[in-house]
Structure 1
Amino acid sequence: MPDTADLLARRARLLGPAYRLFYDEPFHPVRGEGVWLFDAAGTPWLDAYNNVVPLGHARPEVVQAIARQAAVLNTHTRYLHDGILDYAERLLATMPAALGHATFTCTGSEANDLAMRIATAHTGGTGLIVTRFAYHGVTAAIACASPSLGQFVRIGEHVRLVDAPAGGDAEAGRRFADGVRAAIADLQAHGLQPAALLVDTVFSSDGIFTGPAGLLGEAVDAIRAAGGVFIADEVQPGFGRTGEAFWGFARHGVVPDIVTLGKPMGNGHPVAGLAVRPEVMQAFGKACRYFNTFGGNPVSMAAAAAVLDVIQQHDLQRNALHVGAYLRERLAALGQRHALVGEVRGAGLFIGVELVTDRATRAPATAQAAQVVNGLRQRQVLLSATGPQAHVLKIRPPLVFTREHADLLVERLDSVLAGLAA
C-alpha cells in the first residue's frame, strides 16, 4: 500500500487545491462493513458520522440489488421502466398525501437546485430565505444560498439569512418566525417577491437544533402568507434518522410544498430527488422539460428500493429512536464530569454535543472541539464538528448503531475529554 505522504502528493497533483480532507492526520479506509471502516492494517474504526450509509457500509441487500439490475438493464427516464414508478409509489407513501409527485436526481445539490426552479416557476418570485449558516449544495444557484461554505461563496442578492431556532425553549419557533417575517419584509422592500423558505429540518450546519417539536409551523405560515413555498431539505435528517418520524419535517406538524432528498437514499449509491405538491409542480411542468441522464435510472431505483426495504423490514427508525435516546443520555452524563460539555441536543441518531469554555456565557470551545475530533480519530472513532464556530460535535452514525457502539463512542469521548482537562 502507498504511504500517506505519497497519497497526499498524488492527490494534490491530480485533484488540485479545491478538495479538502478531514482530520489533522488524514484517514485512509480501504474497506467498510456495518458501522466499521477498516484501514490497510485491518484496524476497525467506528463510523459515528456517515449518514450516507444509513444501513451501514457494504450492506449486502443494496450491493445485490445494484448488481442484479446492472446485469439486466440501465438506461434513462425517457424510456418506460416500472422500477422508477414502483419506487415513487413507495417513497410518496411515506409522506403526507398532499405530496403527490416525485422527481429524481443524482445529488442533494441537484434536488435543491431543481426545487428552487420549481418554486420560482410557481410563485413568480426569486427571493430565498435560508438560515445563517445553512448548507444546501454546490451548484451555482444553491451555493449562493449556502453560507456555511464561508469565504468560498458569495451570498446571492436575492437571498436573506435568518438565525436558526436555537435555545430549545417554547419561544424558539416564534423567534424563528419573526426572523422569517423580517427577511420577507426586506426582500419586498428591495422589490423582490419571496419564492421560498428553504431549511434543513434539523438545522445541522447551524449547530443541530431539533426542538421543541412544532417550531417550524409559524415560519411556514409566514412564507405562505407572503406567496412563497416551504421547501424541507431532508438530505441529512430524512429516512428515519430522527427516530420520532420518518422525515424531519413531520416532527413539526407541517406539510411542505417541496421535500428534497439525497445522501442516505441509496446507501452510498448517488441517488436523490424531491417530492412536491402537484399544484406546485404544474407551472414548472408546463414551461420546462425536465431531463436528468442518470437521475432515476433503473440501477439507482433498485438501490433506493433496497434501502427502503431494509429500513422498513428492520425497523431502523425505531432503532434510531431508542439507541439515539440512550446515546444522548450517556453523552449528557459526561457533562457531570467535564465542564467542556455545554449541551447535548438532537433527535434519534442525529446528535449535537455543544462544547463551551464557559457554561454561563456559552462561549464556544472551537479549538477544543477540533482537538476532540482529532483525539477521537486517534482512538479509532470518526465524527466531525458543525456550527458557525465549529464547536458542536456532529454525531450521525448509520441507523444500525447499537447500544454497544454507543458505549464505545462515549467511553472514548470521555477519555479524550479527560486528556484535555489534564
Structure 2
Amino acid sequence: MTSTLRRAGGFAAVGTLSLAAPALGAAAAVPFAVIAVLAAFVVDDGPMFELFARPGDHQDGRLNGLAGFTLAATGLALLATAPRLATPPRQAMPTSVFVAAVLILAYGNVGEKAVSERWDDPFAAVAGFTVVGFLAGTLGQFAVQTLTSASVALPTAAFLAATGALVAALLRSVLFERDDPLVMLSVGLLLWFFTQLVLDIAGLDIVLSLAVTVAFGYTAYALGTASVTGMLTGVLLGLLTIVLGGVGWFAVLISFFAIGGLSAKFKYDDKLDRGVAEDNDGARGSGNVLGNAAVALFAVIGFAASSMLAMPESLFLFAFTGSLAAAMSDTLSSEIGGLYDTPRLITTLERVPAGTDGGVTWQGELAGIGGAAVVAVLAFVLLPLGTFGDPLVGAVVVLLGGIGGMTVDSILGATVEGGRIGNQAVNFLATLAGALVSAGLAVVIL
C-alpha cells in the first residue's frame, strides 16, 4: 500500500467521525474542531504526522491538509446544528447532507487512490472516486436515518449522493488536492439546496437516469468528443436535467451534446490545417460544456424551484430550449462555416481570414439556423410548448431564440472577444441571449 493510499485511508477514518453527528447533536462540530487545532498547532512530527502529511506539510511543519479538511467539516457541522439552537430555531442543513458531503469526499479519495495504484488512466481514477463516493454518500444518509427520526427515500438519497459525487469528482479534476475543503463545502451547500426542492423521484427513474447519463458520458469520452472533465460535466448536467426536468428535457440536451460533439469532429483535419479546429482533438472540456450549457442548467433548476420562486414553469422551459437552440446554432455555424473561405465580419461585412472572431459565412449561417431548427422541432415534439398558447408558435419562438443567440455570439466575437473576454464567456452570453429572447417572446407573443 502506497503512502498516498494510506493517507487517503486516514482522512476517510477522520471523515467517518461525521456518523457520530446524530448522537452528538449540538456538539457534532467538536471532534473536527479539535482535530483541526491539533493538526495546525500540535502535531508536527511522529507517525501521525507522517500518515496525514501531504506534500508541503513537512516544509511548513504542520498538517495543512488535515486542518483544512476538518475545518470544512466543522463548518458544515455548524450549519447542521447551530440554526437549530437559535431563538427562534431556523432551518438547518439536514444532518444526512452533512454526513454525505464529508463521506463522499473522504471515501471518494480512497477510491481514486486505490484505482490509481492499479491503472494509470485518468478515466479509471475518476470512475473510482465517483463510484466509491456515491456508495459512501448513500450509505451515510441511511446510517443517519437509522439513528434519527429523519426519513430519506432511497431514490432521493441516491440522487443526492450521485450529484454530490459527480460535483466532487469534477471539482477534484480541475482543482488541487489542497482545495479539498472548498470541494467539501461546495458539495454540502449544493446538496442542501437540492433538499429544499420538491423531489418526487421513483426508484426505477433514478436507476435509468444514472444508467443513461453514464452511458452517454462514457460514449462521448470513448469517441473523443469529450475530455474526462467534459464527460463529468456532461453526465452531471444530464442527471440533473433528467431528474429535475424529465426525459424530454434530457433528449433536447443530449441532442446538443451529440450533434455538437460530432460536428467538431467533422472534417477535423481540414479545420486543423485552416487553424479553426477545436483544441484537444475536438474533445470538449468542462469549460466548453459549461459555457454552452450553464444557462440550460440554471433553467432546469429554476423549473424545479418555480413554486419557491413564484414564477411560471413555462418561462424556464423556454429559457432552457432557447439557450440550447443558441448553443446548437452557434456550434454548427462555427464548425461548418469554418470550412469555407469567404467569411465576412458581421459588424462591417468586410472580408476577413477564416477563423476570425465574428466572421460569418452564408453556409455557416444556414447550418446555424438548421441547428436551431433541430432543437425547436425536438422541443415541439417532446416538451409542452403549448402551455402559453399554440405549440407551433412556441417552436418558432425557440427557433428565433437560437438565431438571436447565434447572432449575439458573432457580434461579441467581432467586438469584445479576444481581450478580457474569452470564447467560453462569449458562449455563455450568447446562450443567455437565446434564453432571454425565447422567454421574452413567449411572454409577449404566446
For the aligned pair, the TM-score class normalised by the smaller chain equals under 0.3
**Which structure's residues are more often strand, by fraction?**
1
Rg: which structure is higher?
Answer: 2
Normalising by structure 2, report the TM-score.
0.24
**Which structure's residues are more often helix, by fraction?**
2
Higher RCO (CA-CA < 8 Å; seq separation 6+)? 1
Normalising by structure 1, report the TM-score.
0.25
